[in-house]
A = this chain, B = another copy of it.
Amino acid sequence: MDENVLGLIAGGLTSVAMMPQLIKVLKEKNAEDISILMLLVLISGLSLWVWYGILKNELPIILSNGFSVLVNLTLLICCFIFKKKN
């Protein structure tokens, strides 16, 4: 199989797998169970993956980790908004 297609499928699956978490937090407007520290560690790691993808010029890595950064930044923002409310 073409490596890029494989990478895009892999990235698609790992991206889909984290959507329920985001949907749950947005629906319930509750992010108490989520650790802000771990989100920060995760976002740092994912950002470094994007950097790695740019250095290696690999689109699947840039796209899937870039998407993950966006999802987790949204979760982080939700944490701050919803924790203030409660």
Contact = CB atoms under 8 A, between A and B. Distances in A.
A48 B17 contact: no
Interface residues on A, range: 20 to 34
A5 to B, nearest CB: 10
Stoichiometry, copies per complex: 2
A56 B3 contact: yes
B3 A45 contact: no
Contacts of A17: 38-39, 41-42, 45
Given A20-B35, A20-B38, A38-B20, A51 B6 contact: yes
A14 B60 contact: no
Contacts of A44: 13
A48 B6 CA distance: 7
